[in-house]
Amino acid sequence: MRIDCHVHAFPSATDHAARLPASAAALLSGLPGSPLATVARALEVGRHLGIDTGRLAAFRHQTPGPVHQVAEFLMSLGMGPALLLVGTLDRLRDSMRRAGVDRSVVIAAPPLATNDWLLRAVAADPALVPVAHVPPVPIGAPADAWRQAYEDLAERGARGFKLHPNMDDLTPEHPAVRAALDCARAHGRFVILHTGRFTVPGYRNLRPADPRDWADVLRAYPDVRVCLAHMNRDAPEVVWPLLTELPRLYTDTSWQPADAIRRAVEAVGPERLLLGSDWPLLHLDFQTEAVGELEQGAGIAAAARIAGDSARAFLGE
């Protein structure tokens, strides 16, 4: 059993068209080649635009600095729209077959991949584990409103909750954070916390998401399973003391090269590591690449344990 604990997926072009008013959908479907489908097919061959897998892989381990951040920003502008159209659930299943992945933890990514869409779309597929994003509650709402929103998500089938301090501009003290952790504790759910330095258009803030800023709230919930996503990206060693201190804290390998994964195994062992790819970023073979980085860095035996036993423990199985 191989489980990828960090992927995304987006509605297909057909799904998007279905949301349009009937008159607009009819106009689009009547044009030659169906423009939405044509655009999706054209963007799927993005690797032929001169952005090959080897160059994209260099962005796994970011070197801080303005030049790199500008390059990442420009790349995301070019690749982002393509991936939102072609990173569908069907293509995720194709990627899983290619990468030998049996199950994937799929994280909502609004405004396109909303909690509502994801919970409906994967409800009948046991190979896909849905994780809800922060619910669309007004940022200044009282704690009771946040608690009720998370209770509703758990009741509708969310297996876990994602907290993203860059995308949502949440601080550890915000009532949404406590509500997510309280709900996870009460219902046996898990939490995925975004960490690391990323420069992405649309983020509400571009400050590095430092896991040390969240240490106190994590200590307050030692019985909740939490994954520090991306292993803090450009400074993975920051994560390892927290994993040593808190027995139900994990981190995933998304965006990490083989050498960082090797050092993580040496520092904390395979029991606290999870396979993560962040598919479909930056390309549609990103999941296969992530499996390769894991096996190269951890070795075949430890990689199997990370993607199998460690993942099942994190999922609460």
CB 165 within 8 A of CB 122: no
Q: Which token pair is 284?
A: 């549609």
Q: Is the pLDDT of residue 100 over 50?
A: yes
Q: Is the pLDDT of residue 216 over 80?
A: yes
- Contacts (Cβ under 8 Å, ≥6 apart) of 176: 134, 137, 146, 163, 168, 170
Mean pLDDT value of segment 134-155: 96
E strand or H helix at 249: strand 249-252
Q: Which of 73-82, 195-204, 304-313 has the lowest mean pLDDT?
A: 73-82
> How high does pLDDT run on average in the chain?
84
Task: Name the strands in the sheet holding 3-7, side by side, starting at the edge strand that comes first in the sequence.
Answer: 3-7, 103-107, 128-132, 160-163, 190-194, 225-229, 249-252, 273-274
Tell me, what's the pLDDT at 106?
98
Dihedral angle at the C-alpha atoms of 278, 114, 208, 259, nearest 10 degrees? -10
Parse the chain into domains and list their residue ranges.
Answer: 3-12+43-315
Which has more confidence, 281 or 200? 281
Tell me, what's the pLDDT at 15?
65
Mean pLDDT value of segment 83-97: 86
Per mean pLDDT, which of 70-84, 195-209, 264-278 is the most reliable?
A: 264-278
Q: What digits encode the pLDDT tens for the residues 13-33?
A: 666 555 545 544 444 444 444
| CATH code of the domain made up of 3-12+43-315 | 3.20.20.140
Q: Which token pair is 17?
A: 């068209």
- What Rg do the C-alpha atoms of the chain give, in angstroms? 19
CA 198 centroid distance within chain: 13
